[in-house]
Amino acid sequence: MNKIVLAATQLSKSYSDVGGKIQVLDNLDLTLCAGEMVAVVGSSGSGKSTLLHLLGGLDSADQGSIVVNGTEVTKMTEKELCQFRNQHLGFIYQFHHLLPEFTILENVSMPLWIGKINKKLAKQHSLEILERVGLSARVNHRMSELSGGERQRAAIARALVTRPSCVLADELTGNLDKVMALKIVDLMKELAQEMQSTMVLVTHDLSLAALCDKQYIMRAGKVWLGS
């Protein structure tokens, strides 16, 4: 059995609005292993993004635990969480959030700079991952000079440059055409195996979800393994 990278146990999360309490996650359990690429699908409002934010330590659960690489992140202080996210987690969003005033190389290097890796080593690691995602010829370009697919590949490189245990992607292909979306998912799946990272892809696109190793369906505050 592959190494367990992330385990969420009895995870619950609710919000309050004018109509009362809304239970988004209800005693949810989820276990993810190294080298897997899994999809999380579900209807709008089913809690997919909420789950991703909890797994990434960007929001706190009402109850339950999340353990990443043997460390319980739900018990960390905010300072500890920031450091842990930088070292062990990668994030990719539908809108890439790359900084337009910096080159691709500088954007990808930033997580390493934040982690206090010296700039020479950071550049080496960044160039290696940029070559892996097919952007070695574009390292000194800025965001305005890139296509949508190139920007998303740059965002993938930035998420992977620290070689995280787990990468959390929220609708990462939402702004891409079907052909490019398929290429991006294939690339993510290949990198998951190569780096033995866990990739979690939240998507509404069932055809893309079908390309992943496993498909989890969110319903009634829980996740169910698809057939």
227 residues of the chain, pLDDT tens digit each:
578 999 999 999 998 877 778 888 988 999 999 989 999 998 877 888 889 889 988 888 999 999 998 889 888 888 888 888 888 888 887 666 788 889 999 999 988 998 888 889 999 999 999 988 888 898 899 988 988 888 888 988 998 888 888 999 888 777 777 887 888 888 888 888 888 889 999 988 888 888 889 999 988 788 888 75
pLDDT at 227: 56
Sorted by sequence, the CB contacts under 8 Å of residue 194 that are 6+ apart come out as none
Q: Where does 35-182 show beta strands of DSSP type E? A: 37-41, 63-68, 71-72, 89-93, 166-170
pLDDT at 146: 86
Rg (CA), the chain: 17
pLDDT at 32: 92
Domain ranges of the chain: 4-225
pLDDT at 10: 93
In angstroms, the CA 218 to CA 227 distance is 14
pLDDT at 69: 87
- Look up the pTM and report it: 0.86
Let me know: does 5 contact 68? Beta carbons within 8 Å.
yes
- Specify the CATH number of the domain 4-225: 3.40.50.300
In angstroms, the CA 163 to CA 175 distance is 25
